[in-house]
């Protein structure tokens, strides 16, 4: 899995790119929670779930279905998130789905059950470039954990930052153009 430190890069980048007028701070927080939530499935190992079970790590909580379910919950709470329902649904669904997508680019662990409940088959991306994060705090704060963070900086944070800045600049330029058009209309 990608680490809990890097999964928030995706909703943060989208939030910066779209701006607080579309992604409120509350909705951004919901997206961050949504992108981290799938890893709660590691609890299943402690409860005796078999490694390949749909309820074990990278199973149903990493699926598109689960992401849409999280989006539906966000849509229900959209007024509290200071958002329109369709924006809350879309943003939290994408943020949650990004978790499984990032994990599918990692170098280890089981594949991702993207299509659960329709299929429990596990998938990886054709290119696996993000070093898999060790499970457990003690193992993470080691030389291996430092290597994982460097890998995530290169393959998650820098591309997310670049996209966020690019789309932010496009949005700001577009908004500036809209203001100028109104002034001269």
pLDDT at 47: 83
Residues pairing with 48 in the sheet: none
Report pLDDT digits (tens) over 92-101.
Answer: 999 999 999 9
User: Mean pLDDT across the stretch 71-94?
Assistant: 98
More confident residue, 136 or 67: 67
Contact of 14 with 31, CB cutoff 8 Å: yes
> What 8-state DSSP symbol labels residue 166?
H
SS3 for 35-54 is HHHHHHHHHHHHCCCCCCCC
Cis amide linkage into residue 74, ω under 30° from 0: no
Q: What percent of the chain has pLDDT over 70?
A: 98
Residue 77: what are its φ and ψ, rounded to 5°? -95, 15
Contact of 63 with 71, CB cutoff 8 Å: no
What SS3 state is found at 82? coil
Contact of 37 with 61, CB cutoff 8 Å: yes
């Amino acid at each position: 899995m990608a680490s809990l430190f890097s999964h928030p890069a995706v909703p943060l980048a989208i939030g910066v790119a779209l701006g607080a007028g579309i992604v409120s701070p509350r909705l951004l927080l919901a997206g961050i929670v949504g992108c981290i939530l799938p890893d709660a499935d590691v609890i299943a190992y402690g409860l005796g779930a078999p490694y390949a079970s749909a309820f074990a790590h990278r199973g149903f909580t990493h699926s598109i279905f689960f992401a849409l379910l999280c989006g539906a919950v966000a849509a229900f709470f959209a007024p509290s998130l200071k958002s329109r329902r369709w924006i809350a649904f879309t943003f939290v669904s994408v943020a949650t789905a990004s978790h499984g997508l990032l994990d599918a680019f990692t170098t280890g662990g089981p594949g991702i059950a993207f299509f659960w409940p329709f299929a429990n088959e596990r998938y990886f991306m054709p290119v696996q470039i993000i070093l898999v994060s060790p499970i457990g705090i003690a193992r993470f704060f080691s030389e291996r954990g430092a290597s994982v963070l460097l890998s995530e900086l290169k393959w998650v944070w820098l591309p997310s930052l670049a996209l966020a800045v690019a789309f932010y600049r496009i949005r700001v330029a577009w908004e500036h153009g809209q203001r100028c058009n109104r002034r001269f209309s």
